[in-house]
A and B are shown apart, each in its own frame.
Chain A
Amino acid sequence: MNLTLRVWKQDGPDSAGRLVDYPVTDIDPNASFLEMMDILNEQIMKEGNDPIEFESDCREGICGTCGLVINGQAHGPKRAVATCQLYMRDFHDGQVITVEPWRADSFPVIKDLVVDRAALDRIISAGGYISVRTGPKPDANATPIAKDKADHAFDMAACIGCGACVAACPNASASLFTSAKVSHMALLPQGQVERSRRVKRMVDQMDHEGFGNCSNIGECSAACPKKIPLESIARMKREYLRAVVIPNDAS
């Protein structure tokens, strides 16, 4: 396949960016999108030029490192996959493909397509955990958990922290990400003790980081590679209200 890539180039957080066109040739339709980017970079470097900076790691949709806005869509045209799980057979010969970084005030650009998503870690740090120490614990089977509950908690815990939800949201809200963690823990018996404190602190941190508010548009969930549903945000809002009414977790 031969294609034109229209790629966002930006030297650093404070520099102005621009779209640059690159021809890319001889791509195997079974190559992944990121392999195509590797090949393009090889072609660019053969000419002695600077490659396009982008990030990836697992290249199988689980680490959350990769993340490109492709033709205007976070993680590209295919649903429920991360950028690294796109294959060139999903595009067509001769296509012009625009590639841009996640765009959000809370995700400053580091270079080209690489952004800083540390704000997401700080949201987790504000309470996305069950406060237990390492050490002797009750037997793992001591508290039975209904299978559907456990499965549901798993569905929420499947979030890979990629930030596509933020990139897709017109308000750049991190609600889907935050709500996935809030839901995972609120659904489990282990998560009850800190239920109020957790949701309050996480939501406050999210606001503090400058992410926008959720206005129920739903682009986040459509872009999410792990299909975290919008109802997760609804649960977070309920949890937050509950926390206002019952501020002490002892209940």
Chain B
Amino acid sequence: MAIELNGKIPDGPLEEKWDRHKAKIKVVSPANKRKFTVIVVGTGLGGASAAASMAEMGYNVKSFCIHDSPRRAHSIAAQGGINSTKNYPNDGDSVWRLFYDTIKGGDYRSREANVYRLAQCSASIIDQAVAQGVPFAREYGGELANRSFGGALVSRTFYARGQTGQQLLLGAYSALMRQVDEGGVELFARREMVDLVVVDGKARGIITRNLVTGELERHTADAVVLASGGYGRVYFLSTNAWNSNGSAAWRCHRRGAAFANPCYVQIHPTCIPVKGEQQSKLTLMSESLRNDGRVWVPKTRQDSLANAHNIDVSKRDYYLERRYPSFGNLVPRDVASRNAKMMTDKGLGVGPEPQRLAVYLDFRDAIDRLGVHKIDERYGNLFDIYKEITDDDPHQVPMKIYPAVHYTMGGLWVDYNLMTTIPGLYAVGEANFSDHGANRLGASALMQGLCDGYFVLPYTIGDYLGSEELKPVKTTHDAFNEAVDSVQKRVNVLLDSKGTRSGKARHTVLELYRELGLTMWDNVGMARTEEGLKSALQKIPEIKQKFEETVFVPGSSDSFNKTLELGMRVHDFFEIGELMARDALHRDESAGGHFREEHQTAEGEALRDDEDFSYVAAWEWKGEGKEHELNKENLVFENVKLTQRSYK
């Protein structure tokens, strides 16, 4: 049975949809709010802001995270900034412009109404954050400062040095902790959601694994909000934090929530290149660096790359400036990444031998123009990070950068209310698919997470809670028993594998995880082909089988056990990776971050096929060992005209 994909997009002109919708949806009375319990899984920008705001409104909120403290959610690592239509620099920004840039940046694969609402709410986010005491960068006159990010011709990005995510998250976390103090939020740290409990077709609770004791715990609720972040770590190497995972979303998917556009992955152009086989994660160098840094490679392959600055300017190819004169170094991420790959594919790369997988990001001209002091003020901490990791000083030599997996645009399918295809299950932040289409613009994830959590979900959830009849459920309900049993079985797969029982590691979790990651990077990475995707679809289940048979997981399930935690997440990554490859194979066009080599313009740009693929691919789980079913939500564009993206 196919799923009904009703986006529930309100009627009326684009500018009025959100206001009209808010005026129409149900509001729960203050006295009744207290009677509802809402579970929020995740305490990143999406989860913390949602949990705090709902508790302030009067709902009982239970907040869960896998970390030891809600403040450690991966949002903390966001560096560069957050977009907003404030137009403080007076450079012509507007709600329309941010909307348009986001739709275009996403290569026309997102919903107009959602994106417009995001742009409308973006100004309130900055006001809210400042009221909380978030110390954004300021000008000497005491006003807030802005900078530019890729894919935009205006300066609309607010920032707090290179730690914008940290400061915004600490703002949301402080609001959350205030509600913990006031009793509106009950906090469950070191808990991993390992299953969703669905009763009578509605999301009514979750099963968590207590990461300290290993106990499987049951929690009931009237609605569940998933704010568990993205699944980029399916590639093993990425800029995502070590514990970021796709399991919470995947478990919901297996319980009936459609998974949308899994193949849309953002590969960020400016990361520190891979340095060796022992590497565990990649480090991002903020996109803000492209405000002043110039990207180049030598025009011809150099024998020695010992001293970049000795390469004469006439012998350098500032390829982004050459190919995209109007946006220059500030083209969107997918375009910048693909161009870097094009250069290294031609053998012009400047990274470590023999692959030379890197290009230069050079600050010499900016330092000459603005002085070291100004540059340090803007990027000092990023320069420090770079130096710490590479032992090279970007004041002296150009940075070497290369694309790396960074963000997943795909996620659980949600309607305009942010509800998934399971009634009562919502998804916010990176966990949903909603606003970024096939490519996210820089500084827009923080904006989306906070918009969802502060300004959208707390309203829209009332529409559900206020109109559904929700009978009380107990943790002894069969659905809870069944869920706990199924989790226990998954734990046992790892603890009873031949590898574990043999008493010596045939394969460790990391070994097989790396193997999956490499397969994904090679075949479902920056450039995809039918052949590569088919081979991934064959290989991934093979590695999964090897994993189930030979993996070694020491210790027991009833204690603190990091290997078991990771093993369970990796076990899900095999299935997620497979669906990503399947989606990428089916999407026989190029769009944003999804680049099928078969579909490109003469100049190597992504070539869409609007006729056949202007839809959201929402995949439906059909059961163990069965093929997913594809459901389509057609994208309707009433306000923008679909064109070939141009940044020239």
Interface residues of A (CB under 8 A from B): 12, 27-28, 30-32, 34-36, 38-39, 42, 45-51, 53, 55-65, 81, 85, 87, 89, 110-111, 114, 116-118, 120-121, 124-141, 144-147, 150-151, 153-154, 157-158, 160-161, 184-185, 188, 190-191
- Of residues B160, B178, B455, which shows the largest number of chain A Cβ atoms within 10 Å of its Cβ? B178
Which of A34, A48, A138, A190 lies in contact with B505, CB distance below 8 A?
A48
A154 and B160 in contact (CB under 8 A), knowing A35-B278, A118-B68, A121-B69? Answer: yes
**Contact A144–B142 (Cβ < 8 Å):** yes
Contact residues of B between 500 and 517, Cβ < 8 Å to A: 502-505, 508, 510-511
| Complex: A161 Cα to B76 Cα, angstroms | 12
A32-B510 Cα distance, complex, nearest whole Å: 17
B562 near A150 (CB under 8 angstroms)? no
Please determine whether A130 and B131 come into contact, CB atoms closer than 8 angstroms.
yes
- Across the interface, which residues of A come within 8 angstroms of B385, CB to CB? 60-61
Q: A22 to chain B: closest CB distance in Å?
A: 15
Q: Which residue of A lies closest to B391 (CB)?
A: A89
CB-based contact A154/B167 at 8 Å: yes
Judge if B161 is at the interface, Cβ distance under 8 Å: yes
> Cβ of B136: which chain A residues have Cβ within 8 Å of it?
140, 150
Contact among B68, B135, B187 for A184, CB-based, below 8 A:
B135
Q: For A57, A141, A161, A188, which residue has the most chain B Cβ atoms within 10 angstroms?
A: A57
Q: Do A64 and B127 form a contact, CB below 8 Å, given A59-B281, A146-B142, A157-B170?
A: no
- Contacts A46-B504, A56-B242: A140 and B127 contacting too (C-beta < 8 A)? yes
Chain B hits for A132, CB < 8 A = 128, 131-132, 175
Whether the pair B69, A51 counts as a contact (CB closer than 8 A) is: no
- Chain B residue contacts of A121, Cβ below 8 A: 69-71, 177, 187, 189
How many Å lie between the Cα of A143 and that of B550 in the bound state? Answer: 62
In the docked arrangement, what's the CA distance between A35 and B242, Å? 12
Select which of B68, B128, B276 is within 8 A of A65 by beta carbon.
B68
- Interface 1/0 per residue, B257-291 and A, CB below 8 Å: 00000000000000000011011110100000000
Known: A62-B166, A154-B160, A154-B167. A128 touches B174 (CB 8 A): yes
In angstroms, Cα B61 to Cα A98, docked, is: 43
B551-573 CB contacts (< 8 Å) to partner A? 552, 554-555, 559-563
A161-B52 in contact given A46-B505, A124-B174, A190-B132 (Cβ < 8 Å):
no
> Among A31, A35, A58, A129, which residue has its beta carbon within 8 angstroms of that of B241?
A58
What are 16 A-to-B residue pairs whose CB atoms are below 8 Å? A45-B505, A47-B504, A57-B67, A58-B76, A59-B280, A60-B385, A62-B76, A62-B163, A87-B389, A114-B560, A117-B69, A124-B173, A124-B177, A129-B177, A133-B56, A161-B69
From the candidates B137, B163, B389, name the one contacting A150 in the complex (CB within 8 A).
B137
Q: A51-B554, A150-B136 are in contact. Are A137 and B131 (CB under 8 A)?
A: yes
Within 121-165 of B, Cβ neighbours of A (below 8 Å) are at 124, 126-133, 135-144, 160-161, 163
Kindly identify which residue among A32, A59, A134 contacts B52, using a CB–CB cutoff of 8 Å.
A134
Q: Is the CB of B178 within 8 A of A131?
A: yes
Residue of A nearest to B161 (CB): A154
Contact A137 B124 (CB under 8 A): yes
Residue pair A147, B132 in contact (C-beta under 8 Å): no
Q: Are B77 and A38 in touch, CB under 8 angstroms?
A: no
Q: In the complex, what distance in Å separates the CA atom of A131 from the CA atom of B283?
A: 35
Measured CA separation A60–B241 after assembly (Å): 9
A186 → chain B, closest Cβ, in Å?
10
A57 near B133 with CB under 8 A, answer no
Complex contact B77–A63 (CB within 8 A): yes
Interface residues of B (CB under 8 A from A): 49, 52-53, 56, 67-72, 74, 76-77, 86, 88, 124, 126-133, 135-144, 160-161, 163, 166-167, 170, 173-175, 177-178, 180-181, 187, 189, 212, 241-243, 275-276, 278-281, 283, 385, 388-389, 391, 454-455, 458, 502-505, 508, 510-511, 552, 554-555, 559-563
Q: Which residue of B is nearest A115, CB measured?
A: B68
Please give, as numbers and ranges, the residues of chain B lying within 8 Å of A116 by CB-CB distance. 68
**In the complex, which residues of chain B have a beta carbon less than 8 angstroms from the beta carbon of A131?**
178
Task: Give bound CA distance, A60 to B283, whole Å.
Answer: 7
| Cβ of A238 to closest chain B Cβ, rounded Å | 19
**Contact: A110 with B510, CB < 8 Å?**
no
A residues within 8 A CB of B53? 133-134
**CA–CA, A184 and B134, complex, Å:** 9
Known: A45-B554, A134-B49. A128 touches B177 (CB 8 A): yes
Whole-angstrom distance between the Cβ of B144 and the nearest chain A Cβ: 6
- Please name the 10 residue pairs, one residue from A and one from B, whose CB atoms are nearest each other, closest first: A144-B142, A129-B174, A137-B127, A154-B135, A134-B53, A48-B504, A140-B130, A125-B177, A111-B560, A137-B131
Checking B242, B276, B554 against A31 with a beta-carbon cut-off of 8 angstroms, the contacting residue is: B276
| Other A-B pairs, 11, CB within 8 Å; known A87-B388, A121-B71 | A12-B559, A36-B278, A38-B280, A42-B508, A53-B562, A57-B67, A59-B241, A139-B127, A141-B86, A150-B135, A184-B135
Known contacts A27-B278, A57-B74, A50 near B508 by CB under 8 Å: no
Q: List chain B residues, Cβ under 8 A from A63.
A: 67, 72, 74, 76-77, 241
Contact B177 A39 (CB under 8 A): no
B278 touches A185 (CB 8 A): no
Q: Report chain A residues within 8 Å CB of B68.
A: 55, 65, 116-118
Smallest CB-CB separation from A131: which chain B residue?
Answer: B178
Contacts of B140 in A (CB 8 A): 147
| Chain A neighbourhood of B559, CB < 8 A | 12, 111
Chain A residues, Cβ within 8 Å of B173: 124
CB–CB B278/A31 < 8 A: yes
